[in-house]
Amino acid sequence: MTRTLSLPVLAQPSRLHAHIPPEKKEKCAVFGVWGHPHGARISYLGLYAQQHRGQESAGIAVSNGKAINAHTGMGLVAEVFGDRVLYELDSLGGKGAIGHNRYSTAGGSVACNAQPLLESYIRGQVAVAHNGNLINSDALRRRFEEAGHLFHTTSDTEVIIHLLATPQQQRAPDPLAATLRRLQGAFSLVFLFPDRIEAVRDPWGWRPLVLGKIENGTDKPYWVVASETVALDVCGATLVREVEPGEIVTISDEGVSSRHFAHKAEQPAHCVFEHVYFANPASVVFGQNVQSVREMLGETLANEAGVPADYVMPMPDSGRSAASGYARASGIPYREGIVPNRYVGRTFIKPTQTERQAAVRLKLNVIAEIVKGKRIVVVDDSIVRGTTTKAKMDQLRQAGAKEIHLRISCPPIQHPCYFGVDFAERSQLIAHGRSVEDIRKYLGVDTLHYLSLEGLLSCVNRPASHYCTACYSGQYRLDPTHPSTEVIIEDEQMRMFA
Ligand code: SF4
């Protein structure tokens, strides 16, 4: 990777996995701003607001109109960017900046994979930040390596720059569009060239990407792109619109322009799990406020599987929004009886099962005075492996809960995700090959109900066929295991663009 800035890359290998919720990981958050005199500082804010989407590494690349500099490192945004680093980076920019928070779904947790990736090619410099997962990157990389290309990272994102640099793409009337048509899978991308930002969303719209602007009293506002609207809020930007599936939005001194590299897929594949778990509740994702959707999931859950109880209790923090909806719909009082210890988890290394169980007990304290002798509906957003949930249920039982009725605000996760969410292996998913009754017995609860897929889809406002639900249904919009995936891609993309 070319780095024209000799700032230190902060590696903290002993803490890499300590930051991360063990079961669900998202790749990643992207951000970009053009025209702002302090692009690096604005990007820092945008990344900070999106820290929930990736805690493994962070990076910012800045352009002064002629050259791009970047700084990346392992850890949280605040760890990677101290005052001095941020000041230095900010003073090297002035035109545009892009940023990235990463959690790896492809490539591994190493410093060289931190983004934005910055490279030089025949047309100059380019930096890229990626949210999503390319399912044809292995095939593409193998072809490049056979042709003698050297890769600096193990990330799927690097193939994009190699593709862009090929004579074949460079001869195309629009090299970036030609490059994007070779990609298969989920990609919300932000490119920084010295003179512009190009923000891109795949034709299926798997991951969110929004365009906003910061008014500055002139007729040339500062333009911003981000994975989530919560990043716009924090830097004083207003939402303009989503970047459309198949669209390239160019932001430069000339303002904003748009073109399409492919038609929007007939059936988009917005990741419904963004609403269930990943996105910040304050964000508007796929045209809907996330908190409102989660409350509706809880209401629907109560309508599907009501049960007499003394309290509705959220699993903090993941079950709070759905629990409030469940309580409202059921008329059962909402009460918090499980209290998180906010100072545990960031630095707690858990190599063994015993230590992991101790970590769960440390992280969540059950208030025995509240739960003892009570019938409790516990609401959580999802169960992946089930080990953490079981530990929490055991704690409740030990504290004297009389009945535990577990309600989950999405269907059982039975299949892996190939489009940007790192669930466990199929064999490690508790719902894979097990009935709900088997899971109930394992967790030791009195009743267990997962929200139905129909119930989930009734809470989102776009047509049901416009959402990816593959981790629940096994119905993949693209088949990542097909041996001729890459060929299919090229044919499909050609058709889409014809
Ligand atoms: S498989 Fe699940 S997590 Fe992955 S994109 Fe589809 S809905 Fe989202």
- CATH classification of the domain holding 334: 3.40.50.2020
Write out the E strands in 112-209.
Answer: 117-121, 124-134, 185-193, 196-201
Domain boundary among 236, 269, 302: 269
Instruction: Indicate whether 327 belongs to any domain.
Output: yes
Answer whether 298's CB lies under 8 Å from 410's CB: no
Report how far ligand 1's centroid is from the alpha carbon of 460 (Å). 15
Answer whether 290's CB lies under 8 Å from 279's CB: yes
Which of 61-75, 99-113, 232-246 shows the lowest per-residue confidence on average (mean pLDDT)?
99-113
> Do 145 and 109 fall into the same domain?
yes
Long-range contacts of 136-143 (CB under 8 A, 24+ apart): 136/182, 136/183, 136/184, 136/185, 136/485, 136/486, 136/489, 137/106, 137/185, 139/485, 139/486, 140/182, 140/486
The chain-wide mean pLDDT, for the chain, equals 88
> Do 314 and 229 fall into the same domain?
no
Answer whether 179's CB lies under 8 Å from 189's CB: no
> Do 262 and 298 fall into the same domain?
no
Using the Cα atoms of residue 98, residue 104, residue 105 and residue 108 in order, give the sign of their dihedral: positive
3-class secondary-structure state, position 332: coil
> Do 227 and 305 fall into the same domain?
no
Atom of ligand 1 nearest to the CA of 274: 8
3-class secondary-structure state, position 55: coil
Residue 362 or 84, more confident: 84
> Do 210 and 298 fall into the same domain?
no
CB neighbourhood size of 331 (10 A): 9
Domain boundary among 269, 304, 328: 269
> Do 50 and 195 fall into the same domain?
yes
Instruction: Indicate whether 369 belongs to any domain.
Output: yes
The domain that holds 124 is classified in CATH as 3.60.20.10
Which of 12-21, 158-167, 356-365 shows the lowest per-residue confidence on average (mean pLDDT)?
12-21
> Do 217 and 310 fall into the same domain?
no
Amino acid at 77: V
pLDDT tens-place string over residues 138-152: 999 999 999 899 998
The whole-angstrom separation of Cα 370 and Cα 359 is: 22
Instruction: Indicate whether 274 belongs to any domain.
Output: no
> Do 170 and 244 fall into the same domain?
yes
Any idea what the Cα angle at residue 33 is, between residues 28 and 35, rounded to 5°?
Answer: 170
Confidence of residue 112 (pLDDT cuts 50, 70, 90): confident
Instruction: Indicate whether 120 belongs to any domain.
Output: yes
Mean pLDDT, rounded, for 357-370: 82
Report how far ligand 1's centroid is from the alpha carbon of 10 (Å). 32
Using the Cα atoms of residue 459, residue 436, residue 470 and residue 407 in order, give the sign of their dihedral: positive
> Do 62 and 159 fall into the same domain?
yes
> Do 120 and 184 fall into the same domain?
yes
Confidence of residue 12 (pLDDT cuts 50, 70, 90): very low
Report how far ligand 1's centroid is from the alpha carbon of 308 (Å). 33
Confidence of residue 8 (pLDDT cuts 50, 70, 90): very low
Mean pLDDT, rounded, for 72-81: 94
C-alpha to C-alpha distances, 91 to 40, 85, 88, 94, nearest whole angstrom: 9, 10, 5, 7
Q: Is the pLDDT of residue 111 over 90?
A: no
Amino acid at 61: A
Q: Is the pLDDT of residue 87 over 70?
A: yes
Mean pLDDT, rounded, for 78-82: 95
C-alpha to C-alpha distances, 429 to 107, 439, 471, 484, 489, nearest whole angstrom: 22, 11, 10, 27, 29
Instruction: Indicate whether 472 belongs to any domain.
Output: no
Q: What is the pLDDT at residue 24?
A: 55
Report how far ligand 1's centroid is from the alpha carbon of 165 (Å). 31
Mean pLDDT, rounded, for 253-278: 95
- Ligand 1: list residues with CB < 6 Å: 206, 271-273, 417, 419, 421, 468-471
In whole angstroms, what separates CA 45 from the centre of its chain?
17
Domain boundary among 238, 269, 300: 269
Q: What is the pLDDT at residue 396?
A: 95
Atom of ligand 1 nearest to the CA of 272: 7
Active site residues: 28
Report how far ligand 1's centroid is from the alpha carbon of 272 (Å). 7
In whole angstroms, what separates CA 121 from the centre of its chain?
29
Q: What is the pLDDT at residue 361?
A: 72
Instruction: Indicate whether 114 belongs to any domain.
Output: yes
Smallest CA separation from ligand 1 atom 6, residue: 468
Full residue range of the structural domain in which residue 376 is found: 291-461
Smallest CA separation from ligand 1 atom 5, residue: 271
Q: What is the pLDDT at residue 27?
A: 65
Mean pLDDT, rounded, for 298-326: 96
Which two structure tokens, joined as six digits, stand for 391? 């530990």
The whole-angstrom separation of Cα 155 and Cα 137 is: 9
Q: How many CA atoms lie within 13 A of 115 on its CB side?
A: 37
Radius of gyration in angstroms for the set of CA atoms belonging to the chain, rounded to a whole number: 23
Answer whether 463's CB lies under 8 Å from 270's CB: no
Smallest CA separation from ligand 1 atom 4, residue: 417
Residue 235 or 360, more confident: 235
What share of the chain in percent tops pLDDT 70?
A: 86
Q: What is the pLDDT at residue 110?
A: 72
> Do 154 and 213 fall into the same domain?
yes
Any idea what the Cα angle at residue 426 is, between residues 425 and 431, rounded to 5°?
Answer: 125
Mutate to test the pocket of ligand 1, among 227, 272, 465 (most ligand atoms within 8 A of CB): 272
Atom of ligand 1 nearest to the CA of 413: 2
Q: Is the pLDDT of residue 11 over 90?
A: no
Q: What is the pLDDT at residue 6?
A: 33
Report how far ligand 1's centroid is from the alpha carbon of 17 (Å). 22
Q: What is the pLDDT at residue 13?
A: 29
Closest CA to 206 of 242, 180, 176, 245: 245
Mean pLDDT, rounded, for 158-173: 94
Atom of ligand 1 nearest to the CA of 271: 8
Instruction: Indicate whether 405 belongs to any domain.
Output: yes
Smallest CA separation from ligand 1 atom 2, residue: 471
pLDDT tens-place string over residues 197-207: 999 999 999 99
What share of the chain in percent tops pLDDT 90?
A: 75
The whole-angstrom separation of Cα 476 and Cα 466 is: 12
Mutate to test the pocket of ligand 1, among 201, 271, 275, 278 (most ligand atoms within 8 A of CB): 271
pLDDT tens-place string over residues 368-388: 999 999 999 999 999 988 888
Mean pLDDT, rounded, for 254-264: 96
State the burial class of residue 343 (Cβ atoms within 10 Å of its Cβ: 0-12, 13-18, 19+).
exposed
Q: What is the pLDDT at residue 218?
A: 95
Exposure string of 168-199, with b = 16+ CB inside 10 Å and e = fewer, is ebeeeeebbbbbbbbbbbbbbbbbbbbebbbb
Report how far ligand 1's centroid is from the alpha carbon of 382 (Å). 13
Q: What is the pLDDT at residue 385?
A: 87
Any idea what the Cα angle at residue 19 is, between residues 17 and 24, rounded to 5°?
Answer: 80
Mean pLDDT, rounded, for 421-432: 83
Q: What is the pLDDT at residue 355?
A: 66
The whole-angstrom separation of Cα 479 and Cα 185 is: 10
Q: What is the pLDDT at residue 312?
A: 98
Atom of ligand 1 nearest to the CA of 418: 4
Which of 154-168, 170-184, 338-352, 415-429 shows the lowest per-residue confidence on average (mean pLDDT)?
338-352
Answer whether 36's CB lies under 8 Å from 93's CB: no
> Do 338 and 412 fall into the same domain?
yes
Closest CA to 403 of 486, 278, 287, 312: 312
H-helix or E-strand spanning residue 301 = helix 290-304
Q: What is the pLDDT at residue 179?
A: 96
The whole-angstrom separation of Cα 92 and Cα 63 is: 7
Which of 58-67, 278-287, 350-359 shows the lowest per-residue confidence on average (mean pLDDT)?
350-359
Atom of ligand 1 nearest to the CA of 470: 1
Instruction: Indicate whether 148 belongs to any domain.
Output: yes
Report how far ligand 1's centroid is from the alpha carbon of 204 (Å). 12
> Structural domain tally of the chain?
2
Using the Cα atoms of residue 152, residue 154, residue 156 and residue 157 in order, give the sign of their dihedral: negative
Q: What is the pLDDT at residue 479?
A: 72
